Amino acid sequence: MQKHNLMIEQMFKQVRVAVKAETNGSQEPAYYAAIDNDFFFVPKERRIEAIEGCETSVVCPECSQLLRVCERHFQAHRLTSGVGGTALACYKEVLAKVPNHAEALAGLDKIAARYVTWIEGALERGQLDQAKRYLEGLRKVNPESPTLAALEERIYPKPLPPTPVTPLQVDTTPSVETPVTPAFVGVRPT
């Protein structure tokens, strides 16, 4: 048997079918099982190590199909929003079944990279509002993205610090006034 993570009952059935086929029905193994719990030939600790290193379809048979759905969402640009599901939700579903699933983690990286590309393009075209929307998508996928902070600075530049206002300088030095000639009031010179 070269299959991993088979329940013992499944293994017995597969052996029975294989022996029956190889002997053209002349041998028909029987088995009796009174096992109350799941049983594997490999201890749980070693199974976890094996799961991390083995083919993920063995660990999560439905993950292969789910990953194809994730890819369709990605190709349709339903990264973090859309009707009928999104690539982000789909990859997270795979990761809920198999934490550290390499293909699902790569899918999240692919979504983040797509958003970075879209942000860069929007900024080059001067479409700041579009770049802001894409930035929010990137934040949903990976709030710890190393490029997130740099892109935020480009999209939301920090205002320059205000220049200090200095009070108006008032000249307090005495000045020489021009003498005022008195006006003749009531008397007209002749």
Closest CA to 138 of 122, 165, 160, 119: 119
| pLDDT per position as a tens digit, 50-105 | 444 444 444 677 888 999 999 999 999 999 998 889 999 999 999 999 988 999 99
Same-domain check for residues 1 and 47 = no
User: How many Cα atoms within 13 Å fall on the side-chain side of residue 104?
Assistant: 23
**Which pLDDT band holds residue 118 (cuts at 50, 70, 90)?**
very high
Same-domain check for residues 144 and 105 = yes
Count of beta carbons in the 10 Å neighbourhood of residue 95 = 16
| pLDDT per position as a tens digit, 19-40 | 777 788 888 887 666 666 666 5
190 DSSP assignment: -
Q: Which residues form the domain of 26?
A: 1-41
167 DSSP assignment: P
pLDDT at residue 96 in the model: 92
Same-domain check for residues 57 and 2 = no
Same-domain check for residues 21 and 62 = no
**In a domain? residue 108:** yes
Same-domain check for residues 93 and 33 = no
Q: What is the SS3 assignment for 79-133?
A: CCCCCCCCHHHHHHHHHHHCCCCHHHHHHHHHHHHHHHHHHHHHHHCCCHHHHHH
104 burial (CB, 10 Å; 0-12 / 13-18 / 19+) is: buried
Same-domain check for residues 100 and 85 = yes
Q: Is the pTM of this model over 0.95?
A: no
Same-domain check for residues 132 and 65 = yes
User: What radius of gyration, in Å, describes the C-alpha atoms of the chain?
Assistant: 38
**Which pLDDT band holds residue 138 (cuts at 50, 70, 90)?**
very high
